[in-house]
């Protein structure tokens, strides 16, 4: 293994449904030349995926990961023998996934009054929460917005009012989080 932490943002792993997830909660790694056996660690989020469990580890959220240097080993307390598969990803899985045979869902928000409305992506009905962060690129100020479920879709409360009258442009990130950990992400920009 030889990974560049500045280019790899996520790890997705799968285990069979019967595997005890307790010893797979924390991922550890060490970098080339590191004397310490575990230079960094990160907790991920797990969800049921049919006859298996899928874990996603948001490596991009860890400063220790970013500063590690070239990573030569990753491990769990239980080891990796119970893993059915593991995949290092350049970014978190996208929220733009559509059900089989359907067109991808657009994640460009619609404005309704002070709020932004997003279509609800498939597979996100239970177990997680959405978090919208908006970054004003003119002064690098950012703010997170809460969501509520509406008949129109996922309603982020207040971002349209927040960006009105500000110079912008704006970048936004919509995370789907389980137990406080991002497992999927959509991004966009408004000029």
Q: What are the pLDDT digits (tens) for 35-80? A: 555 578 888 888 877 788 888 999 999 998 888 888 888 888 766 6
Q: How far apart are CA 3 and CA 134, in angstroms?
A: 30
CB distance 128 to 122 below 8 Å: no
> Confidence band (pLDDT; 50, 70, 90) for 113?
very high
Mean pLDDT of the chain, nearest integer: 83
Of 114, 128, 112, 127, give the one whose Cα is nearest residue 174.
Answer: 128
Could you write out the DSSP letters of every residue in 96-116? T---TTSPPPP-PPEEETTEE
Would you say 91 and 9 are in contact if contact means Cβ atoms under 8 Å apart? Answer: yes
pLDDT tens digit sequence for 146-171: 888 888 788 999 999 989 988 889 99
pLDDT at position 135: 94
Strands (E), the chain: 10-16, 26-31, 40-43, 45-49, 52-58, 71-76, 83-89, 110-112, 115-118, 129-136, 141-145, 147-150, 153-156, 170-178, 181-190
Which has the closest alpha carbon to 2: 30, 27, 35? 30
Query: Percentage of the chain surpassing pLDDT 90?
Result: 27
pLDDT tops 60 at residue 13: yes
Say if residue 145's pLDDT is above 60.
Answer: yes
pTM exceeds cut of 0.75: yes
Report the pLDDT value the prediction gives residue 69, as an integer from 0 to 100: 84
């Amino acid at each position: 293994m030889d990974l560049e932490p500045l280019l790899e943002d996520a790890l997705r792993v799968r285990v069979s449904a019967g595997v005890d997830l307790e010893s797979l909660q924390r991922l550890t790694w060490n970098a080339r030349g590191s004397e310490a056996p575990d230079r960094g660690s990160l907790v991920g989020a797990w969800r049921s995926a049919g006859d298996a469990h899928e874990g996603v580890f948001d490596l991009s959220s860890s400063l220790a990961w970013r500063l590690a240097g070239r990573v030569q080993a990753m491990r769990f307390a239980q080891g990796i023998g119970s893993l059915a598969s593991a995949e290092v990803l350049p970014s978190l899985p996208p929220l733009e996934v559509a059900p089989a045979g359907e067109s991808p869902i657009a994640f460009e928000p619609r404005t309704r009054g002070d709020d932004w409305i997003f279509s609800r992506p498939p597979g996100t009905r239970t177990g997680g929460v959405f978090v919208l962060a908006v970054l004003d690129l003119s002064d690098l100020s950012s703010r997170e917005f809460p969501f509520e479920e509406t008949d129109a879709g996922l309603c982020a409360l207040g971002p349209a009012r927040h960006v009105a009258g500000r110079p912008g442009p704006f970048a936004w990130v919509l995370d789907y989080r389980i137990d406080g950990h991002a497992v999927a992400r959509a991004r966009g920009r408004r000029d």
